[in-house]
Structure 1
Amino acid sequence: MTDDLFALEGTPRWTQTLAPGAVVLRGFAAECAPTLMQMIDQLTRVAPFRQMTTPGGFVMSAAMSNCGSLGWVTDALGYRYTSHDPLTGVPWP
């Protein structure tokens, strides 16, 4: 059985070490989860999740979005960080 990362009710705050330097902070975002989800929804309306294409022409299996001053992208030009969405030319939200 695996733990539900998104279970909110009755979740005490505790940490779970996955590996050296990798920790899950269980329950730490439970109180602000509705606000976080609303903000993610607003961000992804501007910069929708998409499956990017690698320089070799392969479509990535994971869909992603970006926000902030720089966003990670990949396309025929390579892997890089950019301040603007390469599909729309608009700055990341």
Structure 2
Amino acid sequence: MERIFIKWLDTPLEDLGRHPAKVVERHDEITKENGPYIANGSMRTLRAIYSHARKANKTLPPDNPVGAIDWNGEKRRDTGMGPGDLRAWFFRIVGFGQSDPP
């Protein structure tokens, strides 16, 4: 948050709530500067912060300004291990190296 939103650290959430176009613009900037995944992730964090603050401060505009953005497309990662991978992985970890497990 401190790196991506450094310019907004002193900006009241009420200002963002009343001007969601600022959030849309920042999402577009982050996408260009840091990529679509970081842009989406930072907006998910901002959405959570705003929602949490809204619970304690009912004077904030009720609509979360992050709702105005068009999310970047993301592809699901395929990096997990299945049950069939666990035995070989375990034996590599405990020091049996690249050879087949006993």
TM-score over 0.5 for the alignment?
A: no
Which structure's relative contact order is higher, taking Cα pairs within 8 Å and 6+ residues apart? 2
The structure with the greater share of residues assigned to strand is: 1
Q: So what's the TM-score if we normalise by structure 1?
A: 0.22
Higher helix share: 2
